[in-house]
């Protein structure tokens, strides 16, 4: 087992290396690569979609409005952003904050998997569809899988993957904010190791695509498209 200091240094070394990435065309439009921020030995890691305007300028993920909401939700469960690690599926801003393209995700995903190996979180919260689909390896959208932990192993690291709505989607939709808040409330129990998120807060029953009730239609990806 590599100790935390060694992993911390290695993460810094790689971040410096990744800053010059030219694996995809986003290298031509970005201001800078936004690798991630926070505690490199964190138990809790968040994975969002991609840097937006402010993140691209400042080089730090989640510094805009969605980031402020993320910080508020963290504070409500007694955590600060300095205690967690925050990263994105894409490390560079797509022009106009458009959705990540499959080829961009393909080019960039290795960085995220390296981050997971070095940080070794116990819980990964995927924020929204792109992070959830990538790390769950399933095409099921966030509306179907949110709020229920799934165990996944990435290389040497086994985590509780906990998909939740993207904070940007909750900014203007009170019902979504309520669900996000209730999912955050489940995090302390999950971090405590119970794998008991489902007991910590009222959760929807597991639902297959075919079994989704008509009264609760799945929002498709387009309905969860937002600007941040
Ligand atoms: N800011 C980020 O860094 N990532 C997102 O997914 C949204 C806003």
Evaluate if residue 220 carries a pLDDT over 50: no
Query: How many whole angstroms from 95 Cα to the centroid of ligand 1?
Result: 13
Q: Is any ligand 1 atom within 6 A of the Cβ of residue 35?
A: no
Q: List the structure tokens of 70.
A: 């993320």
For the chain, what percent of residues have pLDDT higher than 90?
Answer: 83
Q: Who contacts 172 (Cβ-Cβ below 8 Å, separation ≥6)?
A: none
More confident residue, 164 or 218: 164
For the chain, what percent of residues have pLDDT higher than 70?
Answer: 84
**Residue of 59, 168, 169, 225 with the most ligand 1 atoms within 8 Å of its CB, for mutation:** 168
Q: Who contacts 7 (Cβ-Cβ below 8 Å, separation ≥6)?
A: 40, 41, 118, 119, 120
Whether residue 173 lies inside any domain: the answer is: yes
Find the mean pLDDT for residues 98-124: 98
For 7-24, what is each residue's pLDDT tens digit?
999 999 999 999 999 999
CA–CA distance, 33 with 157 (Å, rounded to integer): 25
CA–CA distance, 226 with 171 (Å, rounded to integer): 10
Query: How many whole angstroms from 144 Cα to the centroid of ligand 1?
Result: 22
Q: Is any ligand 1 atom within 6 A of the Cβ of residue 94?
A: no
- Structurally, the chain folds into a number of domains equal to 1
Whether residue 77 lies inside any domain: the answer is: yes
Q: Is any ligand 1 atom within 6 A of the Cβ of residue 87?
A: no
Find the mean pLDDT for residues 107-112: 98
Whether residue 217 lies inside any domain: the answer is: no
**Residue of 26, 38, 52 with the most ligand 1 atoms within 8 Å of its CB, for mutation:** 52
The per-residue pLDDT of the chain, averaged, comes to 89
More confident residue, 222 or 30: 30
Find the mean pLDDT for residues 115-129: 98
Which atom number of ligand 1 is nearest to the Cα of residue 66? 8
Whether residue 197 lies inside any domain: the answer is: no
- The answer to whether 127 and 85 are in contact (CB under 8 A) is no
CA–CA distance, 128 with 175 (Å, rounded to integer): 15
Specify the pLDDT at position 205.
Answer: 40
Whether residue 167 lies inside any domain: the answer is: yes
Residue with tokens 């800078």: 32
Q: Is any ligand 1 atom within 6 A of the Cβ of residue 168?
A: yes
User: Containing domain of residue 126, as a range?
Assistant: 4-19+30-191
Distances (CA, A) of 43 to 93, 97, 142: 26, 29, 22
Whether residue 129 lies inside any domain: the answer is: yes
**Residue of 32, 35, 66 with the most ligand 1 atoms within 8 Å of its CB, for mutation:** 66
CATH number at residue 185: 3.40.470.10
Q: Which burial class, exposed, middle or buried, applies to 194 when counting CB atoms under 10 A from its CB (0-12, 13-18, 19+)?
A: middle
Whether residue 73 lies inside any domain: the answer is: yes
Of 63-77, 123-137, 198-212, the range with the lowest mean pLDDT is 198-212
Please list the alpha-helical segments (H only) found in the chain: 4-18, 53-58, 65-76, 102-119, 129-136, 142-145, 167-170, 174-185, 187-191, 197-200
User: Taking each helix axis from N to C terminus, what angle separates 102-119 and 4-18, rounded to the nearest 10 degrees?
Assistant: 160
Find the mean pLDDT for residues 171-200: 85
Find the mean pLDDT for residues 193-209: 45
Specify the pLDDT at position 2.
Answer: 86
Q: Is any ligand 1 atom within 6 A of the Cβ of residue 167?
A: no
Specify the pLDDT at position 211.
Answer: 34
Query: How many whole angstroms from 213 Cα to the centroid of ligand 1?
Result: 31
Query: How many whole angstroms from 129 Cα to the centroid of ligand 1?
Result: 13
Evaluate if residue 191 carries a pLDDT over 90: yes
Whether residue 90 lies inside any domain: the answer is: yes
């Amino acid at each position: 087992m590599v100790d935390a200091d060694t992993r911390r240094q290695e993460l810094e070394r790689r971040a410096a290396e990744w800053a010059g990435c030219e694996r995809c065309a986003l290298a031509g439009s970005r201001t800078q690569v936004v690798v991630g921020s926070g505690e490199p030995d964190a138990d809790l890691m968040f994975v969002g979609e991609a840097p937006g305007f402010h993140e691209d300028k400042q080089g730090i993920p989640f510094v805009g409005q969605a980031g402020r909401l993320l910080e508020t939700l963290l504070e409500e469960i007694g955590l600060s952003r300095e205690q967690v690690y925050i990263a994105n599926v894409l490390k560079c801003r797509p022009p106009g904050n458009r959705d990540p393209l499959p080829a961009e995700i393909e080019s960039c995903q290795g960085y995220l998997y390296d981050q997971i190996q070095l940080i070794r979180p116990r819980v990964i919260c995927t924020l929204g569809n792109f992070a959830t689909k990538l790390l769950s390896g399933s095409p099921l959208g966030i509306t179907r899988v949110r709020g229920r932990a799934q165990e996944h192993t990435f290389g040497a690291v086994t985590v509780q993957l906990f998909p939740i709505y993207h904070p940007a989607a909750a900014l203007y939709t009170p019902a979504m904010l309520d669900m996000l808040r209730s999912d955050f409330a489940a995090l302390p129990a999950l971090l405590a190791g119970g794998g008991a998120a489902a007991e910590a807060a009222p959760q929807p029953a597991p639902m297959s695509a075919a079994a989704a009730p008509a009264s609760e239609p799945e929002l498709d990806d387009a309905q969860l498209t937002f600007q941040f």
